[in-house]
A and B are shown apart, each in its own frame.
Chain A
Amino acid sequence: MPANRIGVYVCHCGTNIAGTVDCEAVRDFAAKLPGVVVSRDYKYMCSEPGQEIIKKDIREENLDGVVVASCSPRMHEPTFQKAVAQAGLNSYMMEMANIREQCSWVTEDMDEATEKAKDLVASAVAKVRMNAPLEATYNDITPRALVVGGGVAGIEAALRIADSGYEVVLVEKEASIGGKMAKFDKTFPTLDCAACILTPKMVEVAQHPNIKLMTYSEVEKVDGFVGNFEVTIRQKARDVDLEDCTGCGICSEKCPGKAASEFDEGLSQRGAIYIPFAQAIPNVAVIDRENCLYYNGKAKCQVCAKLCPSDAITFDNEDVLVKETFGAIVVATGFQSFRPEEGNQWGFGKYPDVISGLQFERLTNASGPTDGKVKTSKGEVPKAVAIVHCVGSRDANHAEYCSRICCMASLKFAHLVKEKCKDAEVFEFYIDMRAFGKGYEEFYNRIQEEGVHFIRGKSAEVSCQIEDEGERLVLRGEDTLLGVVREIPVDMVILNTALLPQADAPKVAETFGLQQGEDGFFMELHAKLAPTKTPVDGVFLAGTCQAPRDIPDSVAHAGGAASEAQQLIASGKVKMSPVAAYNEEEKCSGCKICIALCPYDAIEFDEDKGVAVFNQALCKGCGTCVASCPTKAAGIKHFEDEQIFAQIEGVCASS
């Protein structure tokens, strides 16, 4: 039964629409459309008084359908759906015509815009006439959260959710939590010791009654949907028992297999069996099978097992697959550091005294390979150190964006060099000084006062100058403020390398249904208003996996993601949109075309009945199955053929 008491509301949106569309003309046009009994225009339809106009008409004019011609449904569909529901009209009897993003904002021609607005309104009216009331359904939410990634963001998110009383599983790919922050020495601008402020949180995670910590594990598969994610987690075989190992370290000491220490950024060696770092949580060893002599087939070895006082080591264990259900997921998988390629202009990889920021962190760290002393590869205290900003960042050849934290990290490094290397000259090469945060500008001022030489100009190249005494590193760059080229001999160069998305970001994105932006980081739902949400309901982002940021911003962002997860779980039930596909089984020929095409894996095949079965919870209402079904067995609520044809006819009618 077509709706025939329709109200049309044309919004001016200030001048956003009215500046290009003649709203009065559209209003008058709409008033004459079949089924329309009232047609109005108003400056801001989404405002309280605007919504009140609609509600009043519903009540007083007995409307059975509403069309709001305004902005994109992505902005205000929920607003107007709620408004009409409050006045007693079913939400799905409300249609929006987008006369802003798709009309007034794409042309400056007033005639063109007004004509198109009329077409769009006619289309919406035609559709709403064919709409039927629909009811949403509700599913229970599993009151558990999954946090993926145990860096500072993941740790923060896990603790916040766990503290509010919900169970959390924290899955970390490496053998210990801590992430990049565990490697740092001091943090800017307070020069707090990173380990000192992080390790208590790491211990809290380990001891929290609501947190189940799964280290050396990765999420393999995510099935299900918001409120009920079915997650398969692969617990990789550590070969060391988590309960029995005391972290004494004898195995590591005696291990004949050697590899470059990842934690020390390649500046030291570790055994094939090793504890990641002194404050590792869990403080348990792990075997790196690639470098283990036993696993390589090079020797029988197993010295570690023989020497272990707690008998904690066994070999040839298998990975274990664990299945868990969660209501919400927080992805906090972090970033990786840019590694300049072979032949790069700064000599990284060629000259041992050209090091990355993370490598320098390990040098100054008391638990690092040089016990916290800053020394060149020759073991000497450097007399001149250059610090270079923007290595890989703001660079069309690598990452176009700014990595946000490097200016502050550079200032921090300058301070540490000054502190640890008596009489050393420090030259900081920068393009801009981005000291945007709380206490940051003051920190910059402090470093200036420490006598660091600031040279405004990206250091163009590091080469080795041949002198009588041998070879010396020389930095060449333009001092743009002076307008001269400078060549400065140095003993050490610290490169502040770009923050890049993790190498496995594409795989993680696929697993969780995330999008990667052009820069490779995971995309948020709305850049301004929803930085922790994603287009996937129930999956949230925390920390640098979404964009480069420093520790306070990561903690705040993680808190936001935790809050989203808490809110979801606390609401108890998740609303399932009724705009979903359905299958008329009598018409289904069992061809399975829809199953292959469904982007959300929402369709399964019932072997017994020989028909496709649609999971309405997973269905996003994209319509691919409907379009592909040869027998028209598949249909979609709210977008049935009659409704779509009505839209088309509505648009074409006036032309």
Chain B
Amino acid sequence: MKHYAYYPGCSLHATAADYDVSARAVMNHLDISYSELDDWNCCGATALASDSYLFSLLAPARNLAMAGGDKGDMVVACNACYVAEKRALKAFKEGGEWSKRITEGLLRIDKEIDDDVEVLHLLQVLVNEVGLEEIENKAVRNLEGLKLAPYYGCQYSRPETEGIHPESPMDLERLLEVTGAEVLDFNRKTRCCGSSLMSTKEEHALRLCGEILKEADYRDADAIVVTCPLCQLNLDAFQPRVNGLLGSDYRIPILFFTQVVGLALGLDPKALGIGKQLTSCSGFLEKYRKGA
């Protein structure tokens, strides 16, 4: 039985607490063996690299050093953590200048990275390691009738994730199909939501979110299903501001994939943090309940 070092990341302890709650609920229900990585630090996301390049490799490296071995591979739920940790691991594994400095830096704090440690996204764990068959077996509620737009954002499949096309990953679609829901052919599934530039370049980021919401609306999506807390924040919390800027009237629930899978597994919506969204999910839940 494989054990994982669960790395929630800063957002899951705050703005995306419902993601953490639903992720744990799903992992528990699927009997995934995990424990939260002890004393983990912020991975730096994409911000540290813009401030101090080497430190942006060292901070996530500390987490890598604490994972691995019998702690297990690192499992992350946030796309940005996924990119940051993989970036540090790649730099470390490549040998060369940055690798040397990572090793040297970690020595200062008496740590070193286990050569075999891997970084996995929770979506990958569900699809590849637990397997779709297992999830289908454990599913008790059919989400037929619900139209879901799968949205990965940028950093699940880019810059490179092994075995996955950078612009057309299919893991989320395959997972959602197992729930019985109608998975929409969503062209903008890996288009940028604006990421942290929602803070620094708000108007432009709002327009990018607008494009995503527009297509979801056009395709009659009941919800956009995401794999990243920042995408969720931008599309959900800032949805009213998108409407304000574009003069639109979108009211599309933005849910984490763990919440949708949790519903299919028969878990209580409240226990999955559904209802904590700023865009109302009541319409979605109504449809879900009717579907029984």
Contacts and interface: CB of A to CB of B under 8 A. Distances in A.
Contact of B168 (A343, A464, A466): A343
Interface in A431-480: 463-464, 466
B71 interface: no
A466 B217 CA distance: 10
Given A463-B187, A464-B187, A345 B167 contact: yes
B214 interface: yes
Contacts of B202: none
Contact of A343 (B167, B214, B215): B167
A341 B215 contact: no
A344 B167 contact: yes
B218 A466 contact: yes
B165 interface: yes
B165 A341 contact: yes
B215 A342 contact: no
A619 to B, nearest CB: 45
Interface in A326-376: 341-345, 350
A342 B165 contact: yes
Interface string A70-82: 0000000000000
A466 B215 contact: yes
Contacts of A343: 165-168
Contacts of A350: 187
Interface in B141-188: 165-168, 187-188
A190 to B, nearest CB: 40
A8 to B, nearest CB: 48
Interface residues of A, number: 9
A341 B166 CA distance: 11
Interface in A513-565: none
Interface in B62-91: none
A342 B165 CA distance: 8
B168 A342 contact: yes
Interface in B216-241: 218
Nearest to B169: A343
A345 B158 CA distance: 14
Interface residues on B, range: under 10
A463 B187 CA distance: 8
Contacts of B168: 342-344
A464 B188 CA distance: 9
Interface in B194-220: 214-215, 218
Interface in A180-218: none
Contacts of A344: 167-168
Interface in B242-273: none
Nearest to B157: A343
Contacts of B214: 466
A450 to B, nearest CB: 33
Nearest to A470: B218
A344 B168 CA distance: 8
A343 B157 CA distance: 12
A477 to B, nearest CB: 16
A350 B167 CA distance: 13
A395 to B, nearest CB: 13
Nearest to B191: A463
A345 B214 CA distance: 20
B129 to A, nearest CB: 23
Q: Which residue of B187, B188, B214, B218 has the most chain A CB atoms within 10 A of its CB atom? A: B187
A343 B165 CA distance: 7
A634 to B, nearest CB: 45
Contacts of B218: 466
A341 B167 CA distance: 11
A466 B215 CA distance: 7
A289 to B, nearest CB: 33
Contacts of A341: 165
B201 to A, nearest CB: 16
A147 B216 CA distance: 57
Contacts of B165: 341-343
Nearest to B219: A466
Contacts of B167: 343-345
Nearest to B215: A466
A466 B220 CA distance: 13
A614 to B, nearest CB: 48
Interface string A397-424: 0000000000000000000000000000
A343 B214 CA distance: 21
A233 to B, nearest CB: 41
Nearest to B217: A466
A345 B166 CA distance: 10
Contacts of B166: 343
Contacts of A342: 165, 168
A83 B167 CA distance: 63
B281 to A, nearest CB: 24
Interface string A466-508: 1000000000000000000000000000000000000000000
B44 to A, nearest CB: 28
Contacts of B188: 463
Interface string B49-68: 00000000000000000000
B107 to A, nearest CB: 35
A464 B214 CA distance: 12
Contacts of A464: 187
A342 B157 CA distance: 14
Nearest to A343: B168
A489 to B, nearest CB: 15
Contacts of A463: 187-188
A203 to B, nearest CB: 46
A345 B167 CA distance: 7
B160 to A, nearest CB: 10
Nearest to A347: B187
A344 B166 CA distance: 9
Nearest to B167: A343
Contacts of A345: 167
A470 to B, nearest CB: 9
Contacts of B215: 466
Contacts of A466: 214-215, 218
Interface in A581-636: none
A464 to B, nearest CB: 6
Nearest to A397: B166
A344 B165 CA distance: 8
Interface string B116-137: 0000000000000000000000
A466 B221 CA distance: 15
A466 B213 CA distance: 11
A344 B167 CA distance: 7
A101 B168 CA distance: 49
A411 B168 CA distance: 31
B23 to A, nearest CB: 27
A599 B187 CA distance: 52
Nearest to A464: B187
17 contacts: A341-B165, A342-B165, A342-B168, A343-B165, A343-B166, A343-B167, A343-B168, A344-B167, A344-B168, A345-B167, A350-B187, A463-B187, A463-B188, A464-B187, A466-B214, A466-B215, A466-B218
Interface of A: 341-345, 350, 463-464, 466
Interface of B: 165-168, 187-188, 214-215, 218
Q: Which 8 pairs across A and B sit closest by C-beta, in order of nearness?
A: A343-B168, A343-B165, A466-B218, A343-B167, A466-B214, A466-B215, A464-B187, A342-B168
Given A343-B165, A344-B168, A466-B214, 10 more contacts: A341-B165, A342-B168, A343-B166, A343-B167, A344-B167, A345-B167, A350-B187, A463-B187, A463-B188, A466-B218
